[in-house]
């Protein structure tokens, strides 16, 4: 098990209308949370019913009637206190995250501060929700726009970033004046519940932020997407589930933001700084054991530097240490569960069958459980599933290309469009490739693109909407146009 300085951060109940609600209080069952590194059960969390979810939605609706009347500065003050409490408890939150998600402690600490940064950012951004005065179409009229909170927000969040994917939805929603109901992944609910506890301590009014945990995603998701009081659904997860949620939301015409799957190309041109490219590829590919939507999925390397890149990348990979993320020396943890392990194994088998060569790895680790060896596959081609599917694991398939046009074609040959990366020292190529890539995010000579200051989001089947930056609050606001007529000259 793991030791916390503040044991009260380990919550196993749902947080509804400012109250911790456990089994027996309209909640009938519970669900176990496992440590993916050891398989042990670390907690048993109450499973919210549909009735409990309705209660949470009603509470968010009631609470926001007052919250939206606060000044932006008053809301910012509560959010800043929440930010500070999260940072003060960074170590405990990181422990909880590593225990339920498996990522190394250093990555968990980084995620806690990344998550908190969205709260700090949107606390300030809420003060800059400006309307407009628009030159009018009549001498006796004036046109004014107001931006107002969209209404109750439902946030459905994934297991790969149990903290940051919540804060980057909750912070803009709360800063805009909305109430929120969060349904975290049932695999990693403890980080979400700890965040709610710190929000309560920070002074978030009862009902304004609610967390419902359930293994019955269909029933709870069904309520969140059909309840007429919910006006916006924000989701991070797979494209398949995102499409389903969008279809469900259509019935009550809810606003949606979808941060869905990716298939990031990582392109290395002949003129690239290879040391920088290897460093970027390591950071982008192996963050969270390859389980991020923006991880390099396909490494596309130009023929002139292909062999040298494979050699240097292989050397760099020898530094990775696979193991339990609680061990300070470990740099890469397990996959989230057995299903993830068998998916990764079948992608590698498919590539090998079609002619890929294993440079390192290529099999489940002797550590057992859900550990998979960091893997490099070379001589990959476009017939392989690793070219077209999101890998979500520590597998680096390397493809070869000849010309800029080949690279652009291969990079865009996917239904996804979240992140892309490329390395070049040629300024003309830099612009040409940037403009040609059909992606929402482009890393140029850089493998780490995530920050609260920039707009994160995809095009094509990678989703809609942007999170973070000055744009991230727009998804939680509606524009109201006021036409004032009958004015005397």
What's the token pair of residue 138? 């009549």
What's the token pair of residue 399? 């493809």
Q: Per-residue contact track with ligand SIN, 446 to 485, x per CB under 6 A?
A: ----x-----x-----------------------------
Active-site residue 293, yes or no? Answer: yes
| Residue 292 sits in the site that holds ligand SIN (CB under 6 A) | yes
Q: Which of 15, 83, 121, 161 binds ligand SIN (CB under 6 A)?
A: 161
Instruction: Give kind and range of the element (H or E) at residue 14.
Output: strand 14-16
Sheet bearing 296-302, strands edge to edge: 357-360, 375-380, 395-401, 296-302, 264-268, 419-423, 441-444
Q: Which residue is nearest to ligand SIN (CB)?
A: 450
Other C-beta atoms lying within 10 Å of the C-beta of residue 31: 17
How many residues of this chain interact with ligand SIN, rule: CB under 6 A? 10
Choose between 219 and 283: whose C-beta lies nearer to ligand SIN.
283
Active-site residue 452, yes or no? Answer: no
Closest contact distance (angstroms) between CB of 59 and ligand SIN is 28
Closest contact distance (angstroms) between CB of 449 and ligand SIN is 7
Contact assessment for residue 453 and residue 121, using Cβ atoms and an 8 Å cutoff: yes
CA–centroid distance for 226 within its chain: 23
Q: Per-residue contact track with ligand SIN, 412 to 451, x per CB under 6 A?
A: --------------------------------------x-
d(CA 379, CA 121): 44
d(CA 98, CA 324): 9
Other C-beta atoms lying within 10 Å of the C-beta of residue 8: 10
| Residue 392 sits in the site that holds ligand SIN (CB under 6 A) | no
| Total residues found in the chain within this entry | 489
| Residue 160 sits in the site that holds ligand SIN (CB under 6 A) | yes
Closest contact distance (angstroms) between CB of 294 and ligand SIN is 5
Choose between 55 and 169: whose C-beta lies nearer to ligand SIN.
169
- Give, as ranges, the residues between 172 and 191 that touch ligand SIN (CB under 6 A): none
Contact assessment for residue 191 and residue 94, using Cβ atoms and an 8 Å cutoff: no
Stretch that binds ligand SIN, among 10-18, 160-168, 193-201, 269-277 (CB under 6 A): 160-168
Contact assessment for residue 305 and residue 341, using Cβ atoms and an 8 Å cutoff: no
Closest contact distance (angstroms) between CB of 299 and ligand SIN is 18
What's the token pair of residue 330? 């470990």
Contact assessment for residue 359 and residue 378, using Cβ atoms and an 8 Å cutoff: yes
- Give, as ranges, the residues between 293 and 312 that touch ligand SIN (CB under 6 A): 293-294
Stretch that binds ligand SIN, among 3-11, 59-67, 157-165, 339-347 (CB under 6 A): 157-165
Sheet bearing 142-149, strands edge to edge: 132-134, 142-149, 477-484
d(CA 424, CA 273): 7
Q: Which of 293, 295, 373, 390 is catalytic?
A: 293
Stretch that binds ligand SIN, among 48-56, 94-102, 179-187, 292-300 (CB under 6 A): 292-300
Closest contact distance (angstroms) between CB of 327 and ligand SIN is 24
What's the token pair of residue 55? 């209660």
Choose between 199 and 443: whose C-beta lies nearer to ligand SIN.
443
d(CA 288, CA 274): 23
Contact assessment for residue 310 and residue 359, using Cβ atoms and an 8 Å cutoff: yes
Instruction: Give kind and range of the element (H or E) at residue 75.
Output: helix 72-88
Strand 477-484 with 142-149, pairing: antiparallel
- Give, as ranges, the residues between 52 and 91 that touch ligand SIN (CB under 6 A): none
Closest contact distance (angstroms) between CB of 156 and ligand SIN is 13
In the chain the first and final C-alpha atoms are separated, in Å, by 75
Closest contact distance (angstroms) between CB of 236 and ligand SIN is 5
Contact assessment for residue 385 and residue 352, using Cβ atoms and an 8 Å cutoff: no
Choose between 13 and 450: whose C-beta lies nearer to ligand SIN.
450
d(CA 223, CA 51): 9
Other C-beta atoms lying within 10 Å of the C-beta of residue 51: 12
Choose between 154 and 164: whose C-beta lies nearer to ligand SIN.
164
Choose between 122 and 456: whose C-beta lies nearer to ligand SIN.
456
Which residue spans within 212-273 are E strands per DSSP? 230-236, 255-259, 264-268
Q: Which of 53, 236, 257, 331 binds ligand SIN (CB under 6 A)?
A: 236
Closest contact distance (angstroms) between CB of 469 and ligand SIN is 12
Closest contact distance (angstroms) between CB of 482 and ligand SIN is 37
Per DSSP, 205 falls in state P
Choose between 165 and 230: whose C-beta lies nearer to ligand SIN.
165
Stretch that binds ligand SIN, among 45-53, 62-70, 156-164, 401-409 (CB under 6 A): 156-164
As annotated, the active-site residues are: 259, 293
Binding site for ligand SIN (CB under 6 A): 160-161, 164, 236, 259, 292-294, 450, 456
């Amino acid at each position: 098990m793991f030791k916390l300085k503040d044991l009260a951060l380990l919550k196993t109940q749902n947080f509804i209308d400012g109250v911790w609600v456990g089994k027996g209080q309209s909640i009938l069952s519970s669900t176990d949370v496992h440590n993916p590194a050891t398989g042990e059960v670390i907690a048993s969390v109450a499973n919210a019913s549909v009735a409990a979810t309705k209660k949470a939605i009603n509470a968010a609706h009631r609470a926001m009637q007052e919250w939206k009347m606060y000044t932006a500065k008053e809301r910012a003050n509560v959010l800043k206190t929440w930010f500070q409490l999260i940072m003060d408890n960074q170590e405990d939150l990181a422990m909880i995250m590593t225990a339920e998600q498996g990522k190394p402690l250093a990555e968990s600490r980084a995620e806690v501060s990344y998550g908190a940064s969205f709260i700090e950012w949107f606390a300030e951004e809420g003060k800059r929700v400006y309307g407009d005065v628009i030159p009018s179409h009549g001498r006796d009229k004036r046109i004014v726009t107001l931006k107002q909170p969209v209404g109750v927000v439902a946030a459905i969040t994934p297991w790969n970033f149990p903290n940051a994917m919540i804060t980057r939805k909750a912070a803009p929603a709360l800063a805009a004046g909305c109430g929120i109901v969060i349904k975290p992944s049932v695999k990693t609910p403890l980080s979400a519940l700890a965040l709610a506890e710190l929000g309560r301590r920070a002074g978030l009014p009862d009902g304004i932020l609610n967390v419902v945990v359930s293994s019955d995603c269909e029933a709870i998701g069904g309520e969140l997407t059909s309840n007429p009081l919910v006006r916006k659904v924000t989701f991070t997860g797979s494209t398949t589930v995102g499409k389903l949620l969008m279809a469900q939301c259509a019935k009550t015409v809810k606003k949606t933001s979808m941060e869905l799957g990716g298939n990031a190309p990582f392109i290395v041109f002949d003129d690239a700084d290879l040391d920088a490219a290897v460093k970027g590829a390591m950071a982008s590919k192996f963050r969270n054991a390859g389980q991020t939507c923006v991880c390099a999925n396909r490494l596309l390397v130009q023929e002139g530097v292909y062999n040298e890149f494979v050699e240097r990348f292989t050397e760099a990979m020898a530094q990775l240490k696979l193991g339990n993320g609680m061990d300070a020396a470990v740099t890469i943890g397990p996959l989230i569960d057995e299903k993830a392990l068998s998916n990764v194994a079948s992608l590698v088998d498919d590539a090998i069958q079609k002619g890929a060569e294993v440079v390192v790895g290529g099999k489940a680790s002797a550590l057992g459980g859900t550990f998979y060896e960091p893997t490099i596959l070379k001589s990959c081609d476009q017939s392989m599933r690793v070219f077209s599917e999101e890998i979500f694991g520590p597998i680096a398939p390397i493809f070869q290309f000849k010309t800029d046009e080949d690279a652009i074609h291969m990079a865009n040959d996917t239904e996804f469009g979240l992140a892309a990366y490329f390395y070049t020292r040629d300024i003309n190529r830099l612009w040409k490739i940037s403009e040609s890539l059909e992606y929402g995010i482009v890393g140029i000579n850089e493998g780490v693109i995530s920050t609260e200051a920039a707009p994160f989001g995809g095009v094509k089947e990678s989703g809609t909407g942007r999170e973070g930056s000055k744009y991230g609050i727009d998804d939680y606001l509606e524009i109201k146009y006021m036409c004032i007529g009958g004015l005397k000259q």
